[in-house]
């Protein structure tokens, strides 16, 4: 009997068995140990709100600002690997904008209109996420989350200035200043990932992509966007 071949065969069988068990544990289709639990989340975000490029054709910049997210989630567990997690969060956002647009002021030349300022908002965010779980080890679980969210904006604050060209010609054309009035509601999609330790402690990162136009002025276009970095505890 070839001892080397026997050892290699046994090693291959053990490796195959280990791989099979590990795969089953990694994606576990068994019933969930707990059908329902709640958790709390807190974190920081960075966000911005845009305007279509064509509105300000020379310079169109929307800087990312910072804010906070605080809220709670409920986990409804269908299987070990799958949950539905509705939640509610209080969220603040901020950002800066500066725009520059060419404006015809005479038949011979062009001058420029500049707008700049700050945007702040305070909202309730209501996500309804599907969460798929993967078991990295007995104490570490990897979650992948995705689903829609609703944003109810409690307060919008936009403070800015416009610098108009100085007219020197009698045939100067009027400047069209674009008023910016934020909407009070948004709908979008949230997706991201997190790691859960010891069945309770969680760290995660998620992206929120607004699907509706953020301005009452339909010609401004644009979208709301937000990255959220959070920690949490599940009870």
pLDDT at 176: 47
Write down the pLDDT at residue 79.
Answer: 94
pLDDT digits (tens, 9 = 90+) for 86-143: 999 999 999 998 888 776 555 555 566 778 889 999 999 999 999 999 999 989 999 9
What does DSSP assign to residue 220?
Answer: G
Residues 36/191/95/179 CA torsion (nearest 10 deg) = -100
Whole-structure pTM value: 0.81
Class of domain 35-234: mainly beta
Q: By C-alpha distance, which of 127, 117, 65 is closest to 92?
A: 65
**Confidence at residue 219, expressed as pLDDT on a 0 to 100 scale:** 81
In order, the DSSP letters of 90-149 are EEEEEEEEEEEEEEE-SSS-EEEEEEEEEEEEEEEEEEEEEEEEEESSSSEEEEEEEEEE
**φ, ψ dihedrals at 101, nearest 5°:** -135, 140
C-alpha 84/C-alpha 78 separation (Å) is 8
pLDDT in tens, the chain (235 residues): 565 565 566 455 545 544 444 555 888 889 988 899 999 999 999 999 998 887 777 788 889 999 999 999 999 999 999 999 999 999 999 999 888 877 655 555 556 677 888 999 999 999 999 999 999 998 999 999 999 999 999 999 888 776 655 544 444 444 445 567 899 999 999 999 999 999 999 999 999 999 999 998 878 889 999 999 999 999 9
Tally Cβ neighbours within 10 Å of residue 221: 15
């Amino acid at each position: 009997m070839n001892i080397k071949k026997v050892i290699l065969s046994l090693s291959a069988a053990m490796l195959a068995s280990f791989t099979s068990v590990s795969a089953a544990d990694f994606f576990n289709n068994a019933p969930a140990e707990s059908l329902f639990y709640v958790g709390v989340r807190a974190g920081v975000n960075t966000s911005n709100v845009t305007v279509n490029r064509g509105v300000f054709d020379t310079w169109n910049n929307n800087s990312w600002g910072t804010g906070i997210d605080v809220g709670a989630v409920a986990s409804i567990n269908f299987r070990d690997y799958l949950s539905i997690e509705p939640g509610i969060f209080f969220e603040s956002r901020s950002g800066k904008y500066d725009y520059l647009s060419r404006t015809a002021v005479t038949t011979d030349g062009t001058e420029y209109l500049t707008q700049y300022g700050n945007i702040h908002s305070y909202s309730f965010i209501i996500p309804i996420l599907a969460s798929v779980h993967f078991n990295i080890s007995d104490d570490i679980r990897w979650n992948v989350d995705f689903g829609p969210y609703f944003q109810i904006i409690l307060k919008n604050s936009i403070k800015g200035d416009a610098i108009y060209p100085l007219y020197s010609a009698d045939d100067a054309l009027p400047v069209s200043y674009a008023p910016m009035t934020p909407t009070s509601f948004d709908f979008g999609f949230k997706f991201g990932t997190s790691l859960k330790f010891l069945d309770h402690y969680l760290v995660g990162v998620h992206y929120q992509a607004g699907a509706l136009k953020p301005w009452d002025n339909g010609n401004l276009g644009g979208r709301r966007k937000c990255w959220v970095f959070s920690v949490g505890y599940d009870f």
